[in-house]
Amino acid sequence: MIDIDRECDTIAGLFARRSVKSKLPVRTRSENPIFRRKGQSFNLKNVREYQPFDDLRQIDWKLYGRTDRYYIKEFYEEENAGMLFLIDRSASLSFFDTDTYRRFIASLAYIFLKLHFTIHLVSFSQRLEEVSRNIKEAKNIHRVLSFLENLTFTGPTDLVPVLKTVRQRWGPSTVLLFSDFFDRGYRSALKVPFRRSFMIHFFTSLSEISPGYGELEILDEEQKKRLVLAFNRSNAGRIREREERFLNTLASRRKNCHYYRLTRVEERTPFYWQILEDLYA
């Protein structure tokens, strides 16, 4: 059973008090009225006389008071494009604490649902795997929990075709990518454009699992190979340099992209808060 971090209700409550109507990542289908559906917003489309099939609650009673006739105001619909959670389920995630991984994603999803965002869940390894779309309201958090509980971590990571497929199939305005980025093509993946992206990096340093001195044997679940790393003073330095280059590449500034690095020992709450701050900025 996946637990939601207890701070999530407090965080959602604090952000719900903000005046964020102008900052929410919403979009209309087009500036051209031909391509825009009717709905409820502050953007007036038309005023017309009441018809028998109309909802009585849509009658403009102030206009009725001035004209003694029933009128309906129609508005263009502003659509929340939703938040697409793109969840890495490749074998390399076994180096990270998968329970913490699931709990982080579930807790962040719960906060978004409490704030009335629509979220879509997509898991992947070298291709798209499972999809669960249009989850709304916190009462449906069970759909998120069930999705995460059923994740199995197998197969290699191949980010580039996955990101391109997501972009072509759904064209999401906001993507939250949860991954360890254990992929030789990660540099190319960073170039796949989205309108707005949040990269949450679950990182385990080799120094955390190394014996400090001697040999470290690692089973690469993705390649099905057994790796042996000799840890001595000079080799450890080279490993740290390669990790630093890897991390610096991921953290490099890119337009409309936010990067967060989470380790197994870090407190999760500041990450929830910072992601929301960046989302609402």
pLDDT of residue 220: 59
pTM: 0.74
Instruction: For the chain, give every domain's residue range.
Output: 30-78, 80-280
Strand partners for 120: 84
- DSSP strand E in the chain: where? 26-27, 38-49, 71-76, 79-80, 83-88, 119-124, 128-135, 174-179, 196-202, 214-220, 225-231, 257-262
Query: What digits encode the pLDDT tens for the residues 181-228?
Result: 988 888 999 998 898 999 999 998 766 666 555 555 555 555 566 655
The rounded distance, in Å, linking the Cα atoms of 14 and 18 is 7
Query: What digits encode the pLDDT tens for the residues 66-111?
Result: 888 888 876 544 344 589 999 999 988 888 889 999 999 999 999 9
- CATH class belonging to 80-280: alpha beta
Query: What digits encode the pLDDT tens for the residues 141-155?
Result: 999 999 999 999 988
Instruction: Measure CA of the first residue to CA of the last residue in the chain; give whole Å.
Output: 34
- Region 223-250 average pLDDT: 74
Average confidence score pLDDT of the chain: 81
Q: Is 171 left (phi over 0), alpha (psi -120 to 50) or beta?
A: left
